[in-house]
Amino acid sequence: MTLDQKYSTGVVWQDFQHKELMDLFIKLKKARADKTDRDAFRFTIAFLSMYINHHFKLEEEYMDLYYYPDREDHKKEHRSYIKTLKSFRANHKTYSEEAMDELMTKIKEWILNHILGDDKKLGAHILSAEKAQRLGKNEK
């Protein structure tokens, strides 16, 4: 399955990582509907903690590399997701249906607000910077 075009930034590694998050969300939705989400709770939190670190770091490396003009705002958004996850972890040490629903809402908001907004803008900047770089190389 490929990433829905609506969510695609066109940057291969970014799309791949965003798809990981969206696949997880789809699995959680199914598990929640089947009432088998209890086991997925701890995994989801552990996954998100790891994912956020790795994914945000990589996006931020590219922002710096290509002098992305909105990088400060975008990094701020990342910091705020890290904070949100931290406080969620602190407030929900164990599974409850309410906690799982809250977590899923947060992931959904992240996909809709951040990936469809800031990340698509960043992706467009990366693509054009890489294109400019290729053209520059061809001229030499």
Residue type, 125: H
Buried residues in 84-106 as b, exposed as e (16+ CB within 10 A): ebeeeeeebeebeeebbeebbee
Binders in 55-94 for Fe ion, by CB under 5 A = 59
Q: What angle do CA 22, 32, 93 make, to 5 degrees?
A: 90
Q: Which stretch binds Fe ion (CB under 5 A): 35-43, 63-71, 88-96, 113-121?
A: 113-121
Q: Positive or negative, the Cα torsion across 86, 88, 90, 92? A: negative
Is the Cβ of residue 81 or residue 95 nearer to Fe ion in the bound state? 81
How far, in Å, are 73, 92, 120, 121 from residue 78 at the CA level?
A: 9, 21, 14, 15
15 binds Fe ion (CB under 5 A): no
Taking the complex as a whole, the smallest distance from the CB of residue 25 to Fe ion amounts, in Å, to 14
Q: Tell me how far, at minimum, the Cβ of 21 lies from Fe ion, in Å.
A: 8
44 and 24 Cβ atoms separated by less than 8 Å: yes
Q: Which stretch binds Fe ion (CB under 5 A): 27-35, 53-61, 65-73, 99-107?
A: 53-61
State the minimum distance, in angstroms, from the CB of residue 93 to Fe ion.
27
Task: Assess 119 for contact with Fe ion (CB under 5 A).
Answer: yes
Look up residue 69 and give its two tokens.
């003009």
3-state secondary structure of 4: coil
Stretch that binds Fe ion, among 22-30, 39-47, 119-127, 128-136 (CB under 5 A): 119-127
The span of 26-34, 86-94, 114-122, 127-135 binding Fe ion (CB under 5 A) equals: 114-122
Which residues contribute to the site for Fe ion (CB under 5 A)? 59, 119
